[in-house]
Amino acid sequence: MKIREIKVGSALTKSGLPDAKWAVNPYVGCVFGCKYCYAAFIGRWKHPGEEWGEFVDVKINAPEILKTELEKLNKKFQNKDSGSIFFSSVTDPYQGIEAKYQITRQCLRVLADFGYKGEISILTKSPLVCRDIDIFKKFKKASVGLTITSIDDEVSQFLENNAPPVSLRLGALKELCRAGIPTYAFVGPLLPYFTARADKLEELFTELKESGVAEAYVEHINLSPKIRQRLFEYLAKTPELISYFKKAQTDEYRQELEKIIYPIAKKSGIKIIGGKILHHGK
């Protein structure tokens, strides 16, 4: 693992996501290195020749830069809501290195001290997020999401090798809920085995409900050419699984899966955010 401390010129970036105007990415790269990660493209131009998951750049001046940017936004929007901020879009803000550097916590503290009026949203795969419950409570509008791809640690860690076990993520959702922090789940990517094991999908939504989650984003797996190439290279050691992922690229597969998901979500009492399952197209 290569860790490098860097300085950046900006901490806030315009978000292309429908539910967030801004994104804060405290790190470049991610030690979790999930095999389906869409953000792996960053390595090709920031760290050519290095494998996604084997490098992290720490933006050591991000909190300082964020404070300056907030002051500029405040002047522009005249002390009004300047939009929602999402942590993060191309890294995990609570990957292990955050325990040492605390860049995410420092950025959150800057926002809290500034009295930021917009919504703050966090998405992570790490129970380390519970460390910052004290700061989340300072915001009027803050929510924390945990990515849950399965309730089976063995299944989730097959593609999320270095991420915390999903059992710990579910525990984090429960702890956040007990603390009064609004939570959500990100059920994505949907893994191909759910079409054959609808019972596992029902167990997942039931577990989310019992963890205090009321709503969730649900997303089909993104198999764009670059992601597919990296994923299939990894799956070469278990070639019998490749056919399942190839099937997941078809419209028929997605339609079949959606027929299963919507009734299960409704039965569990979990609202699918946006009213539909996300899909990145071909």
- Cα–Cα distance measured from residue 40 to residue 42, given in angstroms and rounded to the nearest whole number: 5
User: Is pLDDT of 81 > 90?
Assistant: no
- Cα–Cα distance measured from residue 84 to residue 69, given in angstroms and rounded to the nearest whole number: 14
In this prediction, residue 85 has a pLDDT band, given cuts at 50, 70 and 90, of: very high
What pLDDT was estimated at residue 273? 96
Burial 221-240 (b: 16+ CB within 10 A, else e): bbbeeebbebbbeebeeeee
Average pLDDT in the chain: 92
Domain layout of the chain by residue ranges? 2-275
Q: What is the mean pLDDT of residues 129-151?
A: 96
What pLDDT was estimated at residue 78? 61
Looking only at the bridges linking them, the beta strands covering 215-220 and 183-190 are parallel
Comparison of pLDDT for 133 and 223, the residue scoring more: 133
Write the single-letter amino acid at 87. F
Q: What is the DSSP letter of 149?
A: S
What pLDDT was estimated at residue 249? 86
Could you tell me the pTM of the whole model? 0.94
In this prediction, residue 192 has a pLDDT band, given cuts at 50, 70 and 90, of: confident
Comparison of pLDDT for 76 and 71, the residue scoring more: 71
For residues 210 and 220, the answer to whether their CB atoms sit within 8 Å is no
Beta-carbon contacts of 75 under 8 Å, excluding residues fewer than 6 positions away, are none
Q: What is the mean pLDDT of residues 107-111?
A: 98
Q: Which helix (H) or strand (E) holds 140?
A: none
What pLDDT was estimated at residue 226? 87
Matching CATH number, 2-275, of 3.40.640.10, 3.80.30.30, 3.40.50.300, 3.30.420.80: 3.80.30.30
In this prediction, residue 134 has a pLDDT band, given cuts at 50, 70 and 90, of: very high
User: Is pLDDT of 48 > 80?
Assistant: yes
Q: What is the mean pLDDT of residues 168-181?
A: 98
For residues 90 and 39, the answer to whether their CB atoms sit within 8 Å is yes
